[in-house]
Amino acid sequence: MSKLTWLSRRSLALAARAIAPGELVHHSDRGIQYACTAYVERLTAAGIQPSMSRAGCPWDNAMAESFMRTLKREEVDGRCYRDQADVEARIAIFLEEVYNRQRLHSALAYRSPAAFERDNRLLSAPPHAAQPIAVGTTICV
């Protein structure tokens, strides 16, 4: 898959969420795929702040490494996928339905990311703007 095709697919994922500039940080290691101009420009255009670990400081990536361990342990390890499209679809379901809506995170006071965002949005919104957010149904793979 070409770099531009890969970036285009990820653009579709970004389009599914409204991101206010400066609200989201994309942290990565110092891999060339994350440092290339096209990738950084795409993040910036989406209002995402690029962030890289410092050279020789592996603990900068502790949260990202923890996430990757969770993804591998809870979704990827031991699974058989039909093709690349199946991998992307099933990981997207895991991220949206399990990781973001069901899984409790100690860094978020044992709330899911969706609950954390909802609670913070309700706390920071004017009283007349507060509306409940539909969580949706769970899809198990």
Q: How many domains does the chain have?
A: 1
Whether residue 108 is predicted with pLDDT greater than 70 in this model: the reply is: yes
Task: Give me the sign of the Cα torsion angle 36, 39, 44, 45.
Answer: positive
pTM of the model: 0.56
Query: What is the extent of the structural domain holding 78?
Result: 22-122+136-140
Under the banding of pLDDT at 50, 70 and 90, the label for residue 6 is low
The candidate with the shortest Cα–Cα distance to 137, out of 104, 99, 97, is 97
The H helix count followed by the E strand count for the chain is 6, 2
In terms of pLDDT, which residue wins out, 57 or 88?
A: 88
Which segment, 26-35, 59-68, 83-92, is predicted with the most confidence on average? Answer: 83-92
pLDDT, tens only, 69-95? 899 999 999 899 999 899 989 999 999
Which segment, 17-31, 71-85, 126-140, is predicted with the most confidence on average? Answer: 71-85
Write the CB contacts of 104 (distance below 8 Å, at least 6 apart in sequence): 110, 111, 112
| % of the chain residues with pLDDT over 70 | 74
Taking the C-alpha atoms of residue 39 and residue 26, their distance in angstroms, rounded to an integer, is 11
102 domain residue, yes or no: yes
**The CATH number of the domain where 117 resides is what?**
3.30.420.10
Q: How many residues does the chain have?
A: 141
pLDDT at 127: 55
